[in-house]
Structure 1
Amino acid sequence: MPNEALLKFLLKHQLLPYYKAVVTPPLLRHRLLHSHVDPWFISVCERAQQEGAKWVHTYHTLYFEKDWDEGLAPWQLAINKALVEQAKKADVKIAIAHWLKAFLKEQYQIDTVYIPNGVNVTKCDKANAERFIATYGLKDFILFASGISDIKNAGDFLRLANALPDKDFVIIGRGISKEALNKKFNVPLGSNLTILGTMEHGALLDAIAACKVFVVTSRSEGLPTVLMEAMALRRSVVGVNTYGTKEVIHSEKYGYLYEADNLEDLVQKTEAAYAHSKGDQARERILQEYDWRVIAPQLDALYQNLKHD
């Protein structure tokens, strides 16, 4: 698929069908293709496979109805259908998390190999906490950095901020504004909450580096990259005890896990994380398990094996 800027342009001018028609023939000439989520590209890969190409597909997650307030939209159902019915035909299927590998096998009899998503530790190490502090005058705060969609569950972060009025909270993410939060959540916005909205990735890493505690309240995650970035930056992390968030934090050795939909537990774990960081251990986990410098060679080996198969 095109990058985000090009995609917005194509959609605005109703050119996406033309774009797909133009780029499909060159794609079919490739001898190895790797799909991820988009149903159109999955279909291109399936067609290329029929013409002799090798096909790798990576499963990141599926959409679960329980995570969305009004159920799944048609586009989400279409993605699920493509993942379950078409992507399973790939020559090699990758699951980015252990929980997802087990789920695909148990629910759909889809066999996968485990290769996790990675994090760019080198880029993380360029983050500058002092740059963020100088810009915003904020430090020692508790941070949420995600979107406003149902699955990200920002409402629980707002409730957490109200439960800890003596702590400073910062919320960053796509679609987040005072107006949007008021419209979506019936939760008062306290004076201890700073709303920063969408932020460029480098600036976001600065914010993460400057925070005292990083909190993930998502109902579901495949394998949350922003959590891995926080751990790479030695932040004290709190996350819900489900799916990919649980898998990344793994245990109380590396961070703090709270029970889903349990505000009291979230408050207690956040206070513990504020008082005692496990950031050094968290970074070691990322370096060992999720650093792209560890993961990229695994993908290279997979591609080489397919080329010589």
Structure 2
Amino acid sequence: MAPRVLMIGTALSGKGGIAAVVSVLDQDGLFEREGVRYLATHAEGSRAGKARVALAGFWRTALACLLERPAVVHAHSASHASFFRKSLLLLIARRCGARTVFHLHGGGFRDFATSESGPVARWWIRHTLEASSVVIALSSGWAAFLAGFAPKAQVRVVPNSVDVARLASRCEEEPGRILFLGRADTPKGVYDLLAAVAALAPAFPHVRLAVGGDGDLALLRTRAAQLGVAERLEVLGWIGAQDKADQLARASVFCLPSHAEGLPMAMLEAMAVGKAVVVSRVGGIPEAVVDGDNGLLVPPRDVQALAAALSRLMSDEVLRRRLGERARQTVAERFSTAVVIGKLSAVYRELCARGAR
């Protein structure tokens, strides 16, 4: 049976935010409810493996648009190669009569669309946004940027969602344990966090940092040794769903001091299970986290401010518990899968009705 909605993005078995976002939508019923068929146009692996998946995904998506004629084609996209793959597929979809949804993920899109792209690429980015039936942004701040960059774009805000039930764990919280989930590289702020842990160590002998994610883990260990905190670092590597739930339960504080972000899933998951979070004031984060109410915000690249915020939480259990409880309430009210699936369903209904006229 031809799909009502054809959705394209990275393989759901892979790593990263898009896979996590779409997996939650699938598991909580969006695909069945709205007649969604999902095709992967990207997967983790070697360069040759990625190329094979990209070519196969491109071909399968193009054929589906030509032969099955879905009403809506919904593309999850980040920057660079991800954007160019999806933009060409959305062009094909429009030529086949489909309404198109460009769903933006990733904190680097602003730089990609402005300083990193030349005149021709900027024109194509703007054209893709404005030609799409709907552009989905993860936050009001990102929506404002997209509306300014592409004034004719029809921008809607639909945040990422969290399935709290799948984060259940029997593990107990461990005092002084700081958890970082994400790619272990400079843009995610993990080296700033290592430096902050080194600054905290004299006053907090029990402080530990657990890092879950891929990246150059050997370099991470080397940097920790140089800072004198090698014994305080636990490198988890990439972790699966249950391991992630357990690590969140064991954490005393969650920290993601990114230099740029969209609306990070790991942060929302930590908030969903009632953890106090220390995160950077970048991207869509300040629209989810209010400093001093449901978490603590710090400037990006500011090790001193990061260390001070972590010290504040580690010294004050009452504050930590209060922020964690407010974080849990925030996710339940604004980022539950029921809320987000309702928003996406409304977009699909509107586009299908518009296409029928």
Normalising to structure 2: TM-score of the pair?
0.74
Q: Alignment partner of 2:274: what SS?
A: coil
**Could you tell which deviates more after superposition, 153-162 or 114-123?**
114-123
* Identical aligned residues as a percent: 21
- Say if 2:94 is the partner of 1:49: yes
- Say if 2:343 is the partner of 1:298: yes
Q: Alignment partner of 1:302: what SS?
A: helix
- Judging changes above 3 Å, is the alpha-carbon distance between structure 1 residues 50 and 27 closer, same or farther for their aligned structure 2 residues? closer
Report if the CA contact (8 A) 2:275-2:324 is conserved: yes
- Which amino acid counterpart does residue 75 of structure 2 have in structure 1? S
- Judging changes above 3 Å, is the alpha-carbon distance between structure 1 residues 40 and 262 closer, same or farther for their aligned structure 2 residues? closer
Give the CA deviation at 1:139.
Answer: 5.4
CA distance in 2, matches of 1:97, 1:193: 33
Structure 1 match to 2:76: 36
Instruction: Please list, as runs of the form range in 1=range in 2, the aligned pairs for 1:163-174 lying within 5 A after superposition.
Output: 163-165=199-201, 166=205, 167-174=207-214
Report if the CA contact (8 A) 2:65-2:96 is conserved: no
Give the CA deviation at 1:102.
Answer: 1.0
Report if the CA contact (8 A) 1:93-1:112 is conserved: yes
Instruction: Please list, as runs of the form range in 1=range in 2, the aligned pairs for 1:1-309 lying within 5 A after superposition.
Output: 1=9, 3=11, 7=43, 8=45, 11-12=48-49, 15=52, 16-28=54-66, 29-37=69-77, 38=82, 39-61=84-106, 63=108, 83-109=125-151, 110-124=153-167, 126-130=168-172, 140-165=176-201, 166=205, 167-177=207-217, 179-182=218-221, 187-190=226-229, 191-274=231-314, 275=316, 276-277=319-320, 278-309=323-354
Q: Deviations over 1:167-192 (max 9, x none)?
A: 12212211252x22156789525122
| Cα-Cα RMSD | 3.0
- Which amino acid counterpart does residue 101 of structure 2 have in structure 1? V
CA distance in 1, matches of 2:143, 2:90: 21
Give the CA deviation at 1:41.
Answer: 3.0
- Judging changes above 3 Å, is the alpha-carbon distance between structure 1 residues 66 and 101 closer, same or farther for their aligned structure 2 residues? closer
**Could you tell which deviates more after superposition, 105-114 or 91-100?**
105-114
Gaps of 5+ in 2: 1-8, 15-41
Q: Alignment partner of 2:211: what SS?
A: strand
Report if the CA contact (8 A) 1:170-1:194 is conserved: yes
- Which amino acid counterpart does residue 116 of structure 1 have in structure 2? P
Structure 1 match to 2:27: none
- Which amino acid counterpart does residue 227 of structure 2 have in structure 1? P
Q: Deviations over 1:282-303 (max 9, x none)?
A: 1000111111111111111111
CA distance in 1, matches of 2:64, 2:109: 34
Report if the CA contact (8 A) 1:235-1:279 is conserved: yes
Q: Alignment partner of 2:284: what SS?
A: helix
Report if the CA contact (8 A) 1:159-1:187 is conserved: no
Runs of 4+ in structure 1 deviating by more than 4 angstroms, as ranges, are 64-67, 77-83, 182-187
Normalising to structure 1: TM-score of the pair?
0.84
- Judging changes above 3 Å, is the alpha-carbon distance between structure 1 residues 221 and 78 closer, same or farther for their aligned structure 2 residues? farther
Give the CA deviation at 1:35.
Answer: 1.1
CA distance in 1, matches of 2:175, 2:275: 13
CA distance in 2, matches of 1:103, 1:256: 24
**Could you tell which deviates more after superposition, 229-238 or 179-188?**
179-188
Q: Alignment partner of 1:215: what SS?
A: strand
Report if the CA contact (8 A) 1:158-1:189 is conserved: no
- Which amino acid counterpart does residue 48 of structure 2 have in structure 1? L
CA distance in 2, matches of 1:149, 1:115: 28
Report if the CA contact (8 A) 1:59-1:95 is conserved: yes
Give the CA deviation at 1:81.
Answer: 7.0
- Judging changes above 3 Å, is the alpha-carbon distance between structure 1 residues 92 and 265 closer, same or farther for their aligned structure 2 residues? same
